[in-house]
Amino acid sequence: MPERDEPMIEPVPAPLAAPEPVVDGGEPAPSFAPSGATEPAAGAPALARVPAAPREVDAAWRRVSPKHVVVEVVGSVIGSGITVAALLVAATWLDFPLLAWAAAAVGAMALVAIALEPRRVRSIGYRLRADDLVFRRGIMFQRQVAVPYGRMQLVDITRGPVSRALGLADLKFVTAAAATAVTLPGLPLEEAERLRDELVALAESRRAGL
Amino acid sequence: MTDTGRRARVRDLADGEWHRLHPASPLLRGGLVFLAVLGFVLANLRERVVEVFLLLFAPVAPEERFEAPAGWNGDWAEDPIGGIVVNGLIGWALAGLAVVIVLVIGGFHLAWRMHTFRVTSEALEVRSGILFRSHRSARLDRVQGINVNRPLFARLFGTAKLDVSVAGQSGNVDLSYLGSAQADRLRADLLRLASGARRAAASDAGPATAPDAAGEAASGTLAARAGQLVGRRVDEFRAPELDPSLAPPESVVRLPLPRVIASALLGGSMIWFAVLVAVIATGVVTGAPWVLFTFVPAAIGLVSYLWSRITKSLRYSIAGTPDGVRIGSGLLSTANQTIPPGRVHAIEATQWLLWRPFGWWTMRINVAGQSLTPTNDGVQRTLVLPVGTADDVRRVVGLFVPDADDVLAVRLASGLTGSGPSAGFTSAPRRAAWIRPFSWRRVGLAVHGGLALLRRGWLVRSAILVPLARMQSVAIAAGPVRRALGLASLRIHTVMGPVTAELPALDRPDADAAFESLAAESVARALRDPGERWGVTADAR
């Protein structure tokens, strides 16, 4: 299915977008202004690392392909289908009706999850900013991560069978911290490869140590 | 052996040529175990062996000779020596034993001959293995720390183990064993090369071995040389740091022995110990012997853990050198660790509830190259202050953060014991009490001078410093509960280690603002960071 997706830049209501620091209770708001970042870096002019040409900042969150919903749905259908089938087989063999109820519960939960899948996929968003990539996802459990380009050790493209049939790919970023755990799922393959090359180039130009 | 061996001792190991390890290393690495096993077997068979030899060489009637080991009842497994004697296989047995010993010694020797290393200006390379050759190479600009360990046995032989940890999981390269003085010299050379400073400028800084060589050449008689050797061993034993120019002048922290012992007794493991003792006591009283078998080993393990903790805290020293922070410890087996500048990814000072009346803290750090599973060695490597006062914490932080100023000291003091929105901290709102009923007042964040300070914990107070130049990424997250309360948790991702830089709850707008500013400042700081070659930028400044 090689139909091309449009570049998916569209304004998304951004619940996690940074608002102004709020002054609460009238006391002066604690300043998070990067005290060192604003002052000129005159102390270390000998460093050869010149900041690379600034990248244009994404104005809005980019979304992943809506077709990624299919990948997620197929995954959860297979997973919960196997569980339900196993429970039902066990229920008939062992003559233990409680297991049948458990199977029904698993099935119902899977249905709810599948119904919410489009919203979950819509909540996945990323933004390429001047010096870092911001990734966010989740409706119940929201998470937002900023990864500086210079920290990326590895950019990995993986494709499962369903994603491959749909022409999608997952892009995984690896830093020296295992907890970073940023994976951009459901990008059209061409977009994923372009993004990978761009990110590798950005990482190279902003390379910092560990 | 005499001439070449002596030359090898003074030779510069970091000259780019291939070198071998200390000749005693096979013995120290595995030979001692082999000897111990052999000794154990012989000790167990002693009576039989003595009996056999008595029979062989004592003037006994010939017909008695083969009758005498009468205990033998045709069972080889029961009494192999009796079987050998009765069947007249003594010659074969001795020959077999000799072959085995020769093979083992030859194998050890061959392994020693094939185990070589060299230091180039780029990397430390190690080749080893007889049948399966391995060639490891550790890039010097990725060196995260150099440890010089001297286990008791190695110290008796005047040797030391050099352990170079590199970024990457289990990426350690160890050279065991080297001559004690050589190990110190090689460490200094490795650090100098890793710093990027030119070797030519550095090579005149190593006169320490020259008088040693001269003294040795002058020594004439065997007795004089032996006396010198003993004297040197004693000197080495007294002073783990041999080269005075390499030894740190003064440790910034002193650990009095009573504090070490008292802190270990008041540590968290003591509660387990009390529980174990109670269980064992009830077991004895109620007469349930199985309790003893299950819990006594655990109690012994705990005691040995406490003991090792205490002995490793003895003679503890920490000091700054131009090539990084040097931490030494140990009474009989000594360990000595050097962490080059810019390798620390997070610092945490924690204080357990029972330590609070005394104002004691313990400090751990995150460095790259930590293995996934916490090994004993790794725990030792990340513990930088076993137990110290708040002043000690400030001094140790000063070593790791060279440009610490008064503001940071104020922030740190608040981070250790303060609470609420004081000293530049952004603290969690009252709503956070729903999530952290005890510690919500303590939860707070401050950013100063390229460092993020995280403050949290009531039962276990904790203050965490993260150099933003080495922050990997930053995340905020909120589940349903936190969202309903208008809160979010903040986590700064660093390389793996004992320190997890996470704040459980911040006001949502504060968390968002912190997210943005941390992300921006970490990029700016990373660009200005001197990076791996600390020596180059030090010259350029």
- Looking at this predicted complex, what is its ipTM? 0.73
Across B336-356, average pLDDT: 90
Tokens in use for A27? 């006391």
Predicted pLDDT at B535? 64
**Chain CA centroid to CA B530, Å:** 27
Rg of the Cα trace of chain B?
A: 30
| Residues of chain B positioned with their CB less than 8 A from the CB of A136 | none
- Name the percent of chain B lying above pLDDT 70: 78
For residue A208, give the chain B residue with the closest CA. Answer: B526
Average pLDDT value for chain A: 77
Predicted pLDDT at B3? 42
Tokens 């012994």 found at: B300
Which residue among B470, B475, B516 sits closest to A143, beta carbon to beta carbon?
B475
B519–A36 C-beta distance less than 8 A? no
Tokens in use for B464? 């965490």
Tokens in use for A190? 């061409």
pLDDT tens digit string along A162-185?
A: 999 999 999 998 888 888 888 999
Say yes or no to pLDDT of A82 above 90: yes
Lowest mean pLDDT among B156-165, B300-309, B497-506: B300-309
Name the helix (H) or strand (E) containing B148: strand B143-150
Predicted pLDDT at A193? 92
Distance from C-alpha of B107 to C-alpha of B72, rounded to nearest angstrom: 35
Predicted pLDDT at B33? 77
Predicted pLDDT at A204? 85
Across A94-113, average pLDDT: 89
Residues pairing with B327 in the sheet: B318, B337
pLDDT tens digit string along B262-294?
A: 888 888 777 888 888 888 888 888 877 777 777
Band of pLDDT at residue A55, cut at 50, 70 and 90:
low
Predicted pLDDT at B74? 60
Predicted pLDDT at B79? 66
DSSP secondary structure code for residue B187 in this structure: H
A-B interface: how many C-beta pairs under 8 angstroms? 158
Predicted pLDDT at B206? 40
Say yes or no to pLDDT of B199 above 50: no
B447–A34 C-beta distance less than 8 A? yes
Distance from C-alpha of A202 to C-alpha of A55, rounded to nearest angstrom: 9
Greatest mean pLDDT among A11-25, B283-297, B390-404, B520-534 lies in: B390-404
Query: What three-state secondary structure class fits B327?
Result: strand
A177–B537 C-beta distance less than 8 A? no
Transcribe A109-147 into DSSP letters. Answer: HHHHHHHHHHHHHHH-EEEE-SSEEEEEE-SSSEEEEEE
Band of pLDDT at residue B9, cut at 50, 70 and 90:
very low
Name the helix (H) or strand (E) containing B501: strand B501-507
Question: Is the CB of residue B374 less than 8 Å from the CB of residue B498?
Answer: yes
Average pLDDT value for chain B: 79
| Residues of chain B positioned with their CB less than 8 A from the CB of A133 | none
- What does DSSP say about strands B123-128 and B134-139: parallel, antiparallel, or unpaired? antiparallel
Predicted pLDDT at B232? 67
Which residue among A36, A46, A176 sits closest to B472, beta carbon to beta carbon?
A176
Tokens 């196993």 found at: A86
B491–A179 C-beta distance less than 8 A? yes
- The candidate with the shortest Cα–Cα distance to B191, out of B360, B305, B322, is B322
Residue type, B187: R
What separation in angstroms does the CA of B35 have from each of B28, B40, B41, B333?
11, 8, 10, 21
Segments of chain A assigned E as strands: 62-63, 125-128, 132-137, 142-148, 154-158, 168-174, 182-188
Lowest mean pLDDT among B104-108, B237-241, B313-317, B322-326: B237-241
Distance from C-alpha of B248 to C-alpha of B188, rounded to nearest angstrom: 12
Query: What three-state secondary structure class fits B137?
Result: strand
Task: Indicate the burial class of B152 (C-beta count within 10 angstroms; 0-12, 13-18, 19 or more).
Answer: exposed
What separation in angstroms does the CA of B174 have from each of A116, B113, B161?
53, 16, 7
Query: What three-state secondary structure class fits B117?
Result: strand
Band of pLDDT at residue B11, cut at 50, 70 and 90:
low
Distance from C-alpha of A208 to C-alpha of A58, rounded to nearest angstrom: 23
B509–A21 C-beta distance less than 8 A? yes
Which residue among A32, A46, A131 sits closest to B537, beta carbon to beta carbon?
A46
Say yes or no to pLDDT of B1 above 70: no
pTM over 0.90: no
Say yes or no to pLDDT of A144 above 90: yes
Greatest mean pLDDT among B26-35, B214-223, B351-360 lies in: B351-360
Which residue among A37, A46, A142 sits closest to B521, beta carbon to beta carbon?
A37
- Name the percent of chain B lying above pLDDT 90: 22
CA distance A127 to chain B (A): 13
Across A29-55, average pLDDT: 43
Question: Is the CB of residue A27 less than 8 Å from the CB of residue A78?
Answer: no
CA distance A17 to chain B (A): 7
pLDDT tens digit string along B68-93?
A: 455 555 666 666 666 777 777 778 88
Predicted pLDDT at B121? 83
Tokens in use for B465? 């410093």
| Residues of chain B positioned with their CB less than 8 A from the CB of A17 | 512
Rg of the Cα trace of chain A?
A: 22
Tokens 């140990």 found at: B330
Tokens in use for B26? 């096979």
| Residues of chain A positioned with their CB less than 8 A from the CB of B446 | 30
pLDDT tens digit string along B117-150?
A: 998 888 888 898 888 888 888 888 888 888 888 8
| Residues of chain A positioned with their CB less than 8 A from the CB of B345 | 210
Tokens in use for A43? 């102390």
Band of pLDDT at residue A126, cut at 50, 70 and 90:
very high
Question: Is the CB of residue A195 less than 8 Å from the CB of residue A62?
Answer: no
Question: Is the CB of residue A181 less than 8 Å from the CB of residue B496?
Answer: no
A34–B473 C-beta distance less than 8 A? no
Distance from C-alpha of B464 to C-alpha of B466, rounded to nearest angstrom: 7
Name the helix (H) or strand (E) containing B291: helix B289-313
